[in-house]
């Protein structure tokens, strides 16, 4: 039985790598892409998602979503990380695939309610669309198979500042709603994604298969490599593909369960605080919410072998 997933995405170079990784994974069925602001505007994210759908044969539906977080406007994008167009500023032809009339929130709700117990939501950008879908149709919480998200940091510092990982910081209120809702959440955060670095040799070995998708990833990853080099990392972090690796081969990750809250304001906005204590507290804001599964460690070699075997197999 294939795992049916909807990827909610702000493509984004590592988003693109995750989407194409999922496309090639035999036991994953990519039901659709829903787009959200984050690395780029939602307009650009939607263009990029349509371009990626073309690359995958044009049959993956794309639904456009939120252009700002739940409780504020947004007009700033980290173009120094993913480029102004979100895909390493490579030249992109106008995609053939057109976004659906249905928006991201309604697409998520419809797909989850039409396929009860089968759909895993895989948000790899800010969690605004997921929070809006949950608010509009709370019943999806009992109808999803699960939520496997890229974001947060339970045991390490953030990547935007010492407190916050980027997806959580982009919409901390949405993130807190996701972690406190009554549904199964798995957090694939910086605890593991900061351990997984693809260097240039590896990227060449895996993506220079001469296929159009291999060539595409080679081209977009140059900008992302330059950004990482500018921060002293000789390779690139594969944040978003880590969620797909978890779906394909969860046993390469070490999981710890605990309740998670997200700071929503102040200098620690976006901080994901997991209750890892085995001792009881008096009444706290971590009471009465379900535990999330958090990836706190990963077998890096197993991850790199898995990604390479799936991507070079095509």
**Residues of this chain that bind ligand RIB (CB under 6 A):** 10, 12, 14-15, 38-39, 124-125, 150, 159, 165-167, 239-240
- Residues 228-267, interacting with Ca ion (CB under 5 A): 240
CB of 125 to ligand RIB, least distance (A): 5
Q: Do residues 20 and 313 make contact, with C-beta atoms less than 8 angstroms apart?
A: no
d(CA 187, CA 176): 12
Q: Which is nearer to ligand RIB, 69 or 125 (CB)?
A: 125
Q: Which is nearer to Ca ion, 15 or 106 (CB)?
A: 15
Question: What Cα–Cα distance (Å) separates residue 128 from each residue in 94, 132, 133, 146, 171?
Answer: 27, 6, 9, 17, 6
State yes or no: residue 189 binds Ca ion (CB under 5 A).
no
State yes or no: residue 125 binds Ca ion (CB under 5 A).
yes
CB of 220 to ligand RIB, least distance (A): 12
CB of 85 to ligand RIB, least distance (A): 14
d(CA 164, CA 255): 21
Which entry of 176, 239, 240, 293 is annotated as an active-site residue?
239
Q: Do residues 196 and 237 make contact, with C-beta atoms less than 8 angstroms apart?
A: yes
d(CA 91, CA 101): 26
CB of 38 to ligand RIB, least distance (A): 5
Return the residue nearest ligand RIB (CB atom). Answer: 166
Which entry of 8, 10, 14, 240 is annotated as an active-site residue?
10
Residue 10 designated active-site:
yes
Residue by residue, DSSP assigns 198-265 as E-HHHHHHHH-SSSHHHHHHHHHHHHHHHHHHHTT-SSEE-TTHHHHHHHH-GGGEEEEEE-EEE--S
CB of 239 to ligand RIB, least distance (A): 4
Q: Which is nearer to ligand RIB, 159 or 180 (CB)?
A: 159
d(CA 233, CA 199): 9
Q: Which is nearer to ligand RIB, 28 or 188 (CB)?
A: 188
Nearest to 86 by CA among 33, 36, 150, 13: 13
Residue 191 designated active-site:
no
Summarize as ranges the residues that interact with Ca ion (CB under 5 A).
10, 12, 15, 124-125, 240
Hey, which residues are catalytic here?
10, 239
């Amino acid at each position: 039985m294939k795992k049916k997933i909807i990827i909610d995405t702000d493509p984004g170079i590592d988003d693109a790598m995750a989407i194409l990784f999922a496309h090639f994974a035999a036991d994953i069925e990519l039901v659709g892409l829903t787009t959200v602001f984050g690395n780029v505007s939602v307009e650009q994210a939607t263009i990029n998602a349509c371009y990626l759908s073309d690359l995958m044969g044009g049959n993956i539906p794309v639904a456009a979503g939120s252009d700002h977080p739940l409780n504020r406007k947004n007009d700033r994008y980290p173009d120094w990380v993913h480029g102004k167009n979100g895909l390493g500023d490579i030249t992109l032809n106008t995609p053939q695939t057109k976004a659906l009339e249905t928006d991201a929130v309604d697409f998520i709700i419809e797909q989850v309610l039409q396929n009860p117990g089968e759909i895993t939501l895989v948000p790899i950008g800010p969690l605004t669309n997921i929070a809006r879908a949950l608010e509009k149709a709370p019943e999806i919480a009992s109808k999803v198979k699960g939520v496997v998200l890229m974001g947060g940091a339970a045991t390490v510092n953030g990547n935007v500042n010492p407190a916050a990982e980027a997806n959580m910081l982009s919409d901390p209120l949405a993130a807190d709603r996701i972690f406190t809702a009554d549904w199964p959440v798995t957090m694939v955060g910086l605890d593991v994604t900061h351990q997984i670095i693809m260097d240039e040799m590896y990227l060449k070995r895996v993506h220079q298969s001469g296929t159009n998708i291999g060539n595409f990833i080679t081209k977009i990853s140059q900008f992302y490599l330059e950004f990482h080099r500018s921060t002293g990392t000789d390779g690139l972090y594969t944040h978003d593909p880590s969620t797909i690796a978890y779906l394909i081969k969860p046993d390469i990750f070490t999981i710890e369960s605990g309740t998670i809250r997200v700071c929503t304001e102040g200098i620690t906005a976006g901080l994901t605080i997991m209750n890892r204590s085995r001792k009881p507290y008096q009444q706290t804001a971590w009471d009465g919410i379900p535990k999330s599964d958090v990836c706190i460690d990963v077998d890096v070699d197993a991850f790199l072998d898995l990604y390479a075997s799936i991507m070079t197999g095509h």
